Amino acid sequence: MSRPRVLLQCTISYAPDDWHVDRFSLLRDQLATVADVVTRNRQPDEHGDDPVLSTLSRADFDEVWLMAVDGGDGVSPRDVAGINAFQRAGGGLLTARDHQNMGLWLRQLDGVGQAHFFHSQEFCEPDPDRCSPDDRDTPAISWPNYHSGRNGDVQRLAALEPLHPLLRRDDLPHGRVELFPSHPHEGAVRPPINDPRAQTIARGRSQTTGHDFDLVVAFERTAAAPGRAIAESSFHHFADYNWDIGHGAPSFVSEPPGDAIRRDPHALDHVRAYVQNAVAWLTPP
C-alpha cells in the first residue's frame, strides 16, 4: 500500500525572522514516519498566485497541512479556489492559525474555514463575553488569545466522548492523546452552526480566566463534501519552538518560555501520536 502524500505549507514567503516552514522541521520529520512529505513556503508569481496552491491536485497530494502564519491576507483568491477544489476532490485538509486575525483568509475556505473565529467583527465568536483578552501578559496581542500555558510547556486536553479516532492511541497511557504543546495566546475554533459534519473533539482550559476553549474541530467526509478536514486553534501545536525551545523562535516572540517538555521529553509522545493519527484519518479512501 502506498504512503499518503502530504503537503506541509506555510502561507508566507520565506523570511528568516518569521514562522517559515523550516520552523516546522520536527513536524515534518514526524509526518515523514507515515507519509511522503513536501514542505514549502508560499511563492507568489507575478499575479500574486502561488503556483502550487492555486492548482492543487489530488494527482499530486492526498492531504494538505496549512500553517496559516500570515497576518490575515496570506493567499490569493485563486489560491483559495485551488484549496477548495482540492477538498471537493476528496483531499484531506488540516488548517492551523493563531491569535487575533492571523490566517483571517481561512474564512474563505469551504466548510473548515467557518470553524475559525477572529478579532474581525464580522467573524468573531458569537458569545460577546469571549470578545475580550484572555492572555493578559502580552497586551499587544488581542483576542482571541486563549492562554493555554507557556511555549515549551504542555496543556492537558479534555477529550469529548465518544473518543474520536484522532485521539485514540493504544500505545499511550490511558489509550488516548492527553497532552498538547501549550501557547500563551491561541486562536478560536468551534463547529459552525448547522454543519453536521463538524464536531469539537478536544478542549483546553485557559490558565488566566479558566475559560474552556475548543482546541480541535474535526469535519467528517460526506458525499457532498468528500474531503475530511481539521481546524486547529494554533499552529503552535506543531512549531519546533513548542516541541523544543532550543530550536528558537522569531525575535518578536517575547514571552519567557517554559521547560516542561525539556524536563520530560516523553510528553511529546502525545502530539507525535496525534500527528500520525491525523495523517491516517485525513487520507482519502
Find where cell 502530539 sits: 271
Percent of the chain whose predicted confidence (pLDDT) is above 90: 99
* pTM of the model as a whole: 0.98
User: Which domains occur in the chain, in start order?
Assistant: 5-282 (3.40.50.880)
d(CA 36, CA 265): 25
CA 219 to chain centre: 14
Give tens-digit pLDDT for 166-207.
Answer: 999 999 999 999 999 999 999 999 999 989 999 999 999 999
Going by C-alpha positions, the residue among 239, 235, 13, 198 that lies closest to residue 111 is 198
CA distance 134 to 172: 31
72-89: b (≥16 Cβ within 10 Å) or e: bebbbebbbbbbbbbbee
pLDDT per residue as tens digits for the range 235-263: 999 999 999 999 999 999 999 999 999 99
